[in-house]
Amino acid sequence: MPESLGSFVGIIIFVAILIGLFSSFVSVKQGTIVVITVFGKYRRILTPGLNFKIPFIESIYSKISIQNRSVELEFQAVTYDQANVYFKAMLLYSVLDQQEETIKNVAFKFVDERNLMQALIRTVEGSIRAFVATKRQSEVLILRRDIVEHVKEQLDQILETWGYHLQDLQLNDITFDDVIMKSMSQVVASNNLKAAAENEGQALLITKTKAAEAEGNAIKISAQAEREAAQLRGQGIALFREEVARGMTVAAKEMAEANMDTSVILFTMWTESIKHFSENSKGNVIFLDGSTDQMQHTLKEMMALNLLHTDNVKK
């Protein structure tokens, strides 16, 4: 009987040694820090990898993740002009660093994770509400970056005492009451219509100006062309008359040398003119005084012109 009792005690001791041996080794995952206490008092921290602790004396108090964590927020704020603003945000935070004091703050500042999250969310909401309360409704939408910077500035020191760091705050959505949203849409629509009207007016002004410039340039070009054409026509008529006069002079000189009457030339020009009228006239009737007296009168005038031109050439 005593031998059986001794064997049983030995087995118990052996099992206890095995349990103590296996419990003395602690495997810590990557991205995690383990806090060790001795009889409830902080002792030390264990980093990722295989670690050793004193069995039955040291115990694991908590496992703290040093990875980034995120939480979504939805809350309401009131602007300076009493407009309700609704925010949807995403908060990204993490443990400040892996130093021992930081880990102690993370492990012992709050009772549990739920209390930490409640304090963190309420602090962020309070900071944003305080900032928005000093701004008007029309300013909130364009101050998204300023709101984020204000929150980070206010929270960094507070979170550092808790052992945390605010990585990022994203304001994903900012909305107002339906009445305000509709009025803002109307303002935007009216501004767009005003801008469209101004642009249309500018376009019409440019079109009219360019058309006027084009018309003015066309008139200048047409006038220039008409002037050059008139000048060329005048030069042509002058050259034509000069050649006719030169030809008549030569013909009259030859006929005078041949003792012929030069009035034949004028009569020939008279008949050629009548032929030209009949061939090129668009009308059906040509009114021409063909009497002997009128013909003699016309011939005398043409002869007088011929003599005048001959005298001018001789001079």
Are 95 and 163 contacting, i.e. CB atoms less than 8 angstroms apart?
yes
Sequence ranges of the domains in the chain: 2-65, 69-176, 182-260, 261-314
pLDDT at 200: 72
pLDDT at 309: 55
Cα 280 from Cα 202, distance rounded (Å): 55
Please calculate the CA angle 42-43-44 and round it to the nearest 5 degrees: 110
Mean pLDDT of 38-49: 89
Please calculate the CA angle 47-50-56 and round it to the nearest 5 degrees: 90
Mean pLDDT of 209-216: 76
Mean pLDDT of 162-180: 82
Cα 235 from Cα 244, distance rounded (Å): 14
Are 90 and 172 contacting, i.e. CB atoms less than 8 angstroms apart?
yes
Residue pLDDT, tens place only, 113-145? 889 889 888 888 888 888 888 888 878 888 888
Q: Which amino acid is at 150?
A: H
**Those residues with Cβ within 8 angstroms of residue 150's Cβ, 6 or more apart along the chain or in another chain:** 127, 128, 131
Please state which of the ranges 13-17, 65-69, 121-125 shows the lowest mean pLDDT: 13-17
Mean pLDDT of 84-92: 88
Superfamily name and number for 69-176 = Band 7 domain (3.30.479.30)
Output phi, psi for 156, to 5 deg: -55, -45
